[in-house]
Amino acid sequence: MERKNTIIADFTTGSVPKKMLQFALPLILSGMLQTVYSMVDMMVVGKFVGGAALSAVSIGGDVLTMLTFASMGIANAAQIIISQYIGAGRRDMVVKLIGTLFTFLLGCAVCLTVVCLTIRGHIMNWVNTPPEAWDYAKDYITTCIIGLVFIYGYNLVSAILRGMGDSKRPFAFIAIASVLNLILDLVFIGRFHMAAFGAALATVIGQGISFFCALFVLFKEREEIGFDFRPSSFRMDRQVMGPLLKLGIPMMIQSASITFSKLFVNSWINSYGYVASAVSGIGTKLDTISNTFAQAINAAGGTMIAQNIGAGKIKRVPKAMATAFFMAFSIAFPLGLVTFLFPQAVFGLFCEEAPILEMAMTYVPVAVLLFLSSAMRVPMFSLINGSGMSKLNLAVALLDGLVMRIGLALILGLACGMGVYGFWYGHAASSFVPFVIGGVYFLSGKWKTGKAI
């Protein structure tokens, strides 16, 4: 009996909204779990330890995000290229890309781990870690750096599966990590009083187990995929390395520049004290909620657009973009409404210290703007990534990350004398840049001929 195809999906036929929803739903659920995953550390630390540790976890999370720029950029590029190869019927190239991706990304993870363990003290000084949070932040950052290989490994395996149209298994892996993280947070922090170190350890253990589960599934499905996991299969192939780097480097730069600019802005915010740092950290987590959903929908939209461009079915692309925007806005709107109507309850979930809650009330308009921008960016990033337009990714990275975010933050925060509020509003205003650039790109029609392969 012929073995039923269980991983590779075809998005070039059938109803666009229906197929996209089917693919995106597990990713959205994954986003919900990732949100819980990222928020639990801060909520538990804020309740059991206090504002200083909350500030440390916020800073540690920013640093960890910065260190994952290579895995996010290259993995996202690989997902798009795999989808285009599948759309074009080039399964042989998919196999070569998988081996190249493993060797390249895990090699990057090992190198980054060694370098960052050496200079972690300098990193903490650079982001203006408040004295009250120093020891907590050092424990958190050190532990997360050691577990960096698991983050890179999980991202690459999940990108392979999503590129083939399988979003259900990555959801299962995130579910495992989220449940483990919640249980271990309560045990390590609540029971054994391990503070920020316990939060980081819970995160690393959850990520590690998720990575090995994902790797096991990929190995189990090796016959269908065509990747045999022999040592020789992990050679870095020049034929696929070219397209991977051509699309991946701009996406890496995009990820790195946006993360760097956020870290730069947050370093100035941290200089205003641990209360401002803690409020900004809570705001970042709220932004992460909508961004996590947005990234899930973006992944679905990008995969669908990539397959259809690879197959030459251009008319399905605008439908995929419209579906992506509707799904993203359906999530961002209620999140913004709840934050606007019940700010005390929302921010109180993380910390109940009066100075933090008082300043948090002034952050509410910023949070609403960030929710709105996350929805507006989704269809544009789906189009830019799905069409493999590497140069445009680079332009978005430079304008959104380095020019607008840092520029507006410095102008409003320092030149206009708005202080911490200027840095918040500068960050929020810059987040609309990808929508403007993507809108011009769509209207130009140049995406119709774009291919990463």
**Mean pLDDT of the 157-186 span:** 84
What does the pLDDT read at residue 163? 81
pLDDT at 104 over 90: yes
Q: Which residue has the higher pLDDT, 101 or 222?
A: 101
d(CA 191, CA 186): 7
**Mean pLDDT of the 217-223 span:** 86
What does the pLDDT read at residue 9? 67
Amino acid 297 reads I
**Mean pLDDT of the 347-372 span:** 89
> For the chain, what percent of residues have pLDDT higher than 70?
95
Nearest Cα neighbor of 247 from 384, 151, 399, 98 is: 384
2 band by pLDDT with thresholds 50, 70 and 90: very low
Could you read off the pLDDT of 388-432 as tens digits, one per residue? 776 787 788 778 777 888 888 899 999 998 988 999 999 889 889
> For the chain, what percent of residues have pLDDT higher than 90?
24
Q: Which of 228-237, 255-264, 407-416, 429-438 has the lowest mean pLDDT?
A: 255-264
Amino acid 414 reads L
Could you read off the pLDDT of 60-102 as tens digits, one per residue? 887 888 888 778 888 888 888 888 888 777 888 888 999 999 9
- For the chain, what is the mean pLDDT? 85
Please compute Rg for the chain using Cα positions: 21
CA 154 to mean position of chain CA atoms: 12
What does the pLDDT read at residue 321? 92
**Mean pLDDT of the 204-212 span:** 90
Q: If DSSP codes are grouped into helix, strand and coil, which group holds residue 127?
A: coil
Give the N- to C-terminal CA distance of the chain in Å, as an integer.
35
**Mean pLDDT of the 168-191 span:** 85
What does the pLDDT read at residue 364? 93
Using alpha carbons, list the distances in angstroms from residue 116 to 99, 108, 137, 141, 297: 26, 12, 14, 10, 32
**Mean pLDDT of the 119-125 span:** 92
What does the pLDDT read at residue 225? 81
Rounded to two decimals, what is the model's pTM?
0.69
**Can you list the alpha helix ranges (DSSP code H) found in 387-419?**
390-396, 406-410
What does the pLDDT read at residue 80? 83
Nearest Cα neighbor of 320 from 385, 371, 391, 254 is: 385
7 band by pLDDT with thresholds 50, 70 and 90: low
What does the pLDDT read at residue 5? 46
Could you read off the pLDDT of 24-68 as tens digits, one per residue? 788 777 777 766 766 766 778 877 888 788 888 888 887 888 888
What does the pLDDT read at residue 434? 87
What does the pLDDT read at residue 394? 76
What does the pLDDT read at residue 452? 57
